[in-house]
Amino acid sequence: MAFLSVPRSRACPHTRRRASLLDLLILRRQRRKLAKLDDAALRDMGLTRRDALDEARRPAWDVPHHWIR
């Protein structure tokens, strides 16, 4: 599974927070770009084509757990 991240300027490790609309849009864009990477780039990240497509198919509200801890 790939872990996508929120930009550092928006990250706050010491407080609980929910993903904002902007966060969800950024995540959606990252997932789309991940699905478009070639196999060599995915291999460099330790991902398979299947991993990338599975991540890209996740719904926007299915955010990484570290965003909502």
What was the pLDDT predicted at 17?
58
What was the pLDDT predicted at 3?
60
Q: Which two tokens stand for residue 2?
A: 């790939």
Determine the distance from the C-alpha atom of residue 2 to the mean position of all C-alpha atoms in its chain, rounded to a whole number: 7
Of 27, 32, 22, 38, the C-alpha closest to 66 is 27
Which residue range(s) make up the domain with 40?
A: 18-61
The pTM score is: 0.66
Give the count of domains, the chain.
1
Is 10 inside a domain boundary? no
Is 31 inside a domain boundary? yes
Is 42 inside a domain boundary? yes
Is 22 inside a domain boundary? yes
What was the pLDDT predicted at 39?
95
What was the pLDDT predicted at 61?
81
What was the pLDDT predicted at 2?
57
CA distance 47 to 23: 23
* Span 36-54, pLDDT tens digits: 999 999 999 999 999 999 9
Is 12 inside a domain boundary? no
CA dihedral of residues 36, 55, 45, 37 (deg, nearest 10): 0
Low-confidence ranges of the chain (pLDDT < 50): 14
